[in-house]
Structure 1
Amino acid sequence: MSESSWASSAGVRKSMQANTGRDTKPELALRRAVHSRGLRYFVNRRPIKAVRRTADLVFPRIRLAVFLDGCFWHGCPTHHTVAKTNAAFWADKVATNRRRDLETNTKLTEAGWTVVRIWEHEAIEQAADRIVESVADLRRVPSPPDRAD
């Protein structure tokens, strides 16, 4: 393990390096469920090019951004567990993620986007239904004039 690593042990470092930023099992399951309902979307894309925030599913024409948040990483009020090792580091990391999530919601909403946040523990079929309902609602509303994203 490197001297500059934040990991508390070589095992923790190896485990954390194995975490992927995209194509997780919950993401793949959600994408399959949404796709099977006939919806098409972009994957892991910035809703607004100038803002460094990547949504898991993006429907650009109706300005819908979907984020699938992990319970540990985003501090789920129901399932988040406090890290036993390096607790202060992880508490700060989760708090930063939560602040960034709120900031992302605000930036996208102010730019005319609708944000849907789904917790990884939510039933995939229900989460897909929420997305389908959001898409249907947004398609009923006239879309805003195009702006440079």
Structure 2
Amino acid sequence: MPDVHDPMTRSRNMAAIRGADTRPELMIRRALHALGFRFRLQDRKLPGRPDLVLARYRAVIFVQGCFWHLHGCDLFRWPATRQEFWQGKLRGNQARDQRNIALLTGQGWRVAQIWECALKGRQKLAPGQVVAALADWLRSDAPLLDISGQG
């Protein structure tokens, strides 16, 4: 059994966490593509490296994991161990997200956040409902969209 306190084991475990091409992200990408929306992926030139960039609509989409981005839903639980580390890490992620959204809106981008709880868990929404709300937002001129599970 691996020693979870060993720094090498910990870094290998953290390296296994996907930053792109997650199931929720792939579901959103496939659905938007089927509706005729075209986008770029993971644009490194933009703050926060959005998951999808729809330049034609001057819009970016983040598909956020509820744990990693400190979402206040049923899918989020504080880890029982190394609490100081996790609080610093996750609160830092949350602050960085807010900074990146402010930078993007300051540059004239519209920003959507789709939370993992909207697509999985007890309070998930119907996938069609999430995609329809996203498509309606893209066709509008609303600056922000936040879709999370019912609750």
Shift of the alpha carbon at 1:126? 2.7
* One-letter amino acid of the counterpart of residue 18, structure 2: T
Shift of the alpha carbon at 1:13? 3.9
* One-letter amino acid of the counterpart of residue 116, structure 2: E
State the secondary structure of the residue aligned to 1:101: helix
Q: Conserved in 1, the CA contact under 8 Å of 2:41 and 2:51?
A: yes
Higher relative contact order (CA 8 A, sep 6+): 1
State the secondary structure of the residue aligned to 1:65: strand
- C-alpha separation in 1, matches of 2:83 and 2:129: 33
Matched, 1:31 2:34: no
- Aligned positions of 1:50-69 closer than 5 A: 51-69=46-64
1:92 is aligned to 88
- C-alpha separation in 1, matches of 2:40 and 2:5: 37
State the secondary structure of the residue aligned to 2:67: coil
Larger radius of gyration: 1
State the secondary structure of the residue aligned to 1:66: strand
Question: For the structure 1 residues 52 and 135, does the alpha-carbon distance in structure 2 shift closer, same or farther, using more than 3 Å as the test?
Answer: closer
State the secondary structure of the residue aligned to 2:60: strand
Q: Conserved in 2, the CA contact under 8 Å of 1:8 and 1:85?
A: no
State the secondary structure of the residue aligned to 1:67: strand
Shift of the alpha carbon at 1:32? 1.0
State the secondary structure of the residue aligned to 1:54: coil
Shift of the alpha carbon at 1:53? 2.1
Q: Which of 95, 107, 110 is the aligned partner of 1:114?
A: 110
State the secondary structure of the residue aligned to 1:38: coil
Shift of the alpha carbon at 1:52? 4.2
Unaligned ranges ≥5, structure 1: 1-6, 139-149
Unaligned ranges ≥5, structure 2: 120-126, 142-151
1:19 is aligned to 17
State how many pairs are aligned. 129
Query: Which deviates the most, 123-132 or 56-65?
Result: 123-132
* One-letter amino acid of the counterpart of residue 82, structure 1: W
Shift of the alpha carbon at 1:8? 3.0
Moved over 6 A (4+): none
2:146 is aligned to none
- C-alpha separation in 1, matches of 2:65 and 2:128: 17
* One-letter amino acid of the counterpart of residue 25, structure 1: R
